[in-house]
Amino acid sequence: MRTQVCIIGGGPSGLLLSQLLHRKGIDTVVLERKTRDYVLSRIRAGILEVGFVDLMRAAGVSERMDRESFAHDGTVIACNDEQFRISFREHTGTDVVVYGQTELTRDLYDAREAADGKVIFNVENVVINEVETDAPYVTFDVHGKQERIDCDFVAGCDGFHGVSRQTIPLSVRREYEKVYPFGWLGILSETPPVHEELIYSCSDRGFALCSMRNANLSRYYIQCSLSDSPDDWSDENFWEELKRRIPSAAAESLVTGPSIEKSIAPLRSFVTEPMRWGRLFLCGDAAHIVPPTGAKGLNTAASDIHYLYHGLLQFYEEKDSEGIDRYSEKALARIWKAERFSWSTTNLLHRYPDMSEFDLKMQLADIAFLRDNEAAQKVFAQNYVGLPY
C-alpha cells in the first residue's frame, strides 16, 4: 500500500489532518487501534478556540457545528460565594464555541467516509520505520495479517500511550512533566446547564467546574484525591459536594439527575521535544498534555495540525520544505504558552494538599487581582479564546 501521508491515530486530530489534506488533493491513510464506535464513546472536551473553528470550516465539516454549537463570549470565575465575569468579546473581539468532541469526531468520520477516505481500524503492532530517510514506511497487523504502508511522511496523532513518540530515540527526545496531586471527578448528566456560561469555582473544599454540551446535557467536575475511584462517589454525594463548592445562587438553581457517565481524570502537564524526527511529526497528546483547567487539550492538538497541514501544503504545492523544517519550532513556541496558561489557571483555582496559610492568602490575592484588574482579564481572555497561530 502506498500513500503520501500515513496518519497514526483516528481521533479528532488525525481525522482533521486527513480531511484538510484530502481537500488539497493530498492522499492519506489513517490507522486506528480501536473501532469507530469505541473512539466515539470517549467523553472529552467541548470548548473550541476560534482557530479550531476556522480549521473545521477549512476542512468543510463545520455545517452541524455552526448550526448546533453554542457561542460563549465570557466565563464566570467564583471564589467561595463571590463571583465575577470575564468577557471574551469585550477583551478580544471574539468568543469560544461549545461543541462536544464526540460530535466533532463524528462529523470528521462522516466526512472521511463520504470522501472514501482510507481509515483502517483495529490495527495492532504498529511499527514506524526509516523515518530518517526519504522512504519511511509503517507496518502493522490487522485481522491477523501484517500490512505495510510506504509513504512520504508519518503524522503521529496516537496520543500519550501511542507508538509515535516512543519511536523517537531517547538520545534525541527530552521530556518535561509535572504531575498534580489531585484529579477531576467528572459526570455527564441529561440536565440543563446551571448557567449560560462556564463557572470555574475555587472553594475551601477544592475546585469545581460547571460546563455543558447542549441545552439538556451538562458536564460537571470536582477536584478529588488521586486515590478516589468513581465507584466511591454516588450521584447523590457528587451533587451535594458540587453544591458546596459553587456559589449559593448556582447551587440553589442546580438541576440534578442520574449520571450517564462518571470518571476520574488525573492532571498532568507534559511536553516532549522535538516534535519532529526525520519524516515523523508528533501532534496532540503524542507530544504534549495539559491539565484541563484552561480548555487547551483539544485546542493544542488543533494548533499542531494547523502548522503541519500548512507545512505539508507548502512542501507538495511549492516544493518548499521550510514549513515542515520549522514545524517543531513553531508548534512548541505556541504549546509552551498554552502549557503556561493551563498550569497557572490550575494553580489559581485548585487547593493543593500542602498549601500553607501564606499560600492560601496568595491564591486569594491572585483571584482578587484578576477580578479587579482589566489588563489581567484581557490577558486571561486572550489565552482562553486562543493565541494566534
Does a cis peptide bond (omega within 30 degrees of 0) precede residue 181?
no
Confirm if 49 and 69 have CB atoms less than 8 A apart. Answer: no
Q: Is 176 a residue of the active site?
A: no
Q: Which position has the grid cell 483495529? A: 122
Residue 263: strand pairing partners: 186
d(CA 356, CA 233) in angstroms, rounded, equals 28
What are the residues whose beta carbons fall under 8 Å from the beta carbon of 89, sequence distance 6 or more? 73, 74, 95
d(CA 274, CA 40) in angstroms, rounded, equals 30
Residue 289: strand pairing partners: 270
DSSP string, 4-57: SEEEE--SHHHHHHHHHHHTTT--EEEE-SS-HHHHHH-----EE-HHHHHHHH
Name the DSSP class of 132.
Answer: T
Q: Is 352 a residue of the active site?
A: no
Considering the candidates 109, 180, 307, 384, report the single residue annotated as catalytic.
384
Considering the candidates 220, 292, 307, 309, report the single residue annotated as catalytic.
292
Q: Is 384 a residue of the active site?
A: yes
Confirm if 154 and 279 have CB atoms less than 8 A apart. Answer: yes
Considering the candidates 72, 195, 306, 350, report the single residue annotated as catalytic.
72
Q: Is 361 a residue of the active site?
A: no
d(CA 135, CA 29) in angstroms, rounded, equals 16
Residue 353, all three cell numbers:
494538599
Q: Is 99 a residue of the active site?
A: no
Number of CB atoms found within 10 A of residue 365's CB: 10
Considering the candidates 180, 200, 309, 327, report the single residue annotated as catalytic.
200
Q: Exposed (0-12), middle (13-18) or buried (19+): which is 122, by Cβ within 10 Å?
A: middle
DSSP string, 286-352: GTEE--GGGS-HHHHHHHHHHHHHHHHHHHHHH---HHHHTHHHHHHHHHHHHHHHHHHHHHHHPPP
Considering the candidates 296, 306, 330, 350, report the single residue annotated as catalytic.
296
What are the residues whose beta carbons fall under 8 Å from the beta carbon of 106, sequence distance 6 or more? 40
Positions annotated as catalytic residues are 72, 200, 292, 296, 384
